[in-house]
Amino acid sequence: MLQISNLSKTYPNGVQALKDVTLNISNGMFGLLGPNGAGKSSLMRTIATLQDADSGTIVFDGIDVLTQKQELRKTLGYLPQEFGVYPKVSAEEMLHYIARLKGISNDKERKELVKALLEQVNLYNHRNKYLGGYSGGMKQRFGIAQALIGNPKLIIVDEPTAGLDPAERLRFNNLLSEIGENIVVILSTHIVDDVNELCNDTAIIASGRVVQRGNPEDLLNGFKDKIWSKRVAKDEVARYQSEYKLVLSKLSGGKMVVHIYSDTDPGNGFVAENATLEDIYFANIS
Ligand code: ADP
């Protein structure tokens, strides 16, 4: 269990990136969902012991994360948002290097581990290729392989599918879904579908604050019978925004569709819509 309590952080330039964040996260895949600039990376970097908070505490499995940094690092696997690779090193060489750094000094044991990891992330056939020649998706899968070295109990992946094409994204998400359910995996993302597909627990963060918390099913139940949709002309959207609680407007088949929030049937041509995580996301960040 990861317990984050009353965590706040203001950068020297005055930006308050985290405002009294409290989250209890159990084993399984947890989705931290929020728009760019919401504070996701600030929170991920703090949990990963790479930066300090101004106030608050983080405890993981009895480890005080903010003071026992070395202890936490032994049990952490981290795939950062900006993931640089040495371009002229092969995946196999790099995994050996990282495994040695993580203390796996027995040659046979390390060879078996590296082979198993390369197979797990589907890079075994590309093991001798330089990392500089890897596609975005291959780099991210390599990132997962390095994060898994040392049997971490806590894995953090920060915006892993941003910039991947749909096939690479699917492949990466399938890989993530195979990581054990007996560890805490935190997926930070602004892509609602990633959380929809993978996570059994989620929080939505906006402007440094947690604005929604729960498993996606419970969140959807809270929005049951409250989302209504209507096809409108593009130049009518502003009017609907002023007259209703507009949740989102989006193009669908070349036409504009608005979703509004209403406890009762708004009439006026609106039809009941099954709420999605996307509705909840937009209702909370706008
Ligand atoms: P996200 O990962 O959700 O996009 P970040 O945690 O990167 O959000 O950023 C949250 C806010 O803090 C943003 O306004 C960002 O510009 C600001 N910020 C992030 N890192 C720094 C930093 N090192 N110094 C100053 N401001 C920062």
Q: DSSP letters of 58-117?
A: EEETTEETTT-HHHHHHTEEEE-SS----TTSBHHHHHHHHHHHTT---HHHHHHHHHHH
**For residue 205, which atom of ligand 1 is closest to its CA?**
3
pLDDT, tens only, 211-257: 999 999 999 999 999 999 999 999 999 999 999 999 999 999 888 99
Separation of CA 211 and ligand 1 centre (Å): 18
Residue identified by tokens 């939505």 is 204
Centroid of ligand 1 to alpha carbon of 10 (angstroms): 10
Q: How far is the CA of 39 from the centre of ligand 1 (A)?
A: 6
The predicted-structure confidence for 77-124, as pLDDT tens digits, reads as follows 999 887 778 889 999 999 999 999 988 999 999 999 999 999 999 999
Ligand 1 center to residue 102 CA distance, Å? 29
Q: Write down the pTM of the prediction.
A: 0.92
Residue with the nearest Cα to atom 27 of ligand 1? Answer: 11
Best residue among 7, 8, 11 to mutate for probing ligand 1's pocket (most ligand atoms within 8 Å of CB) is 11
CA 88 to each of CA 8, 131, 132: distance values in angstroms, whole numbers, following the listed order: 40, 7, 6
Of ligand 1's listed atoms, the one at least distance from the Cα of 81 is 2
Q: How many A from CA of 54 to the centre of ligand 1?
A: 15
Closest atom of ligand 1 to 38 CA is 3
Atom 16 of ligand 1, nearest CA residue: 37
Q: What is the dihedral of CA 259, 264, 268, 274, to 10 degrees?
A: 40
Please write the tens of the pLDDT for every residue from 7-61.
999 999 999 999 999 999 999 999 999 999 999 999 999 999 999 999 999 999 9
Secondary element (H or E) of residue 158 = strand 154-158
Q: Distances in Å between the alpha carbon of 104 and those of 99, 107, 150, 185, 229?
A: 5, 8, 8, 23, 56
Which fold is adopted by the domain 2-214? Rossmann fold (3.40.50)
212 C-alpha to ligand 1 centroid (Å):
20
Cα 281 to ligand 1 centre (Å)? 20
Residues flanking ligand 1, CB < 6 Å: 11, 13, 15, 17, 34, 36-42
User: For residues 268 and 82, which has the higher predicted lDDT (pLDDT)?
Assistant: 268
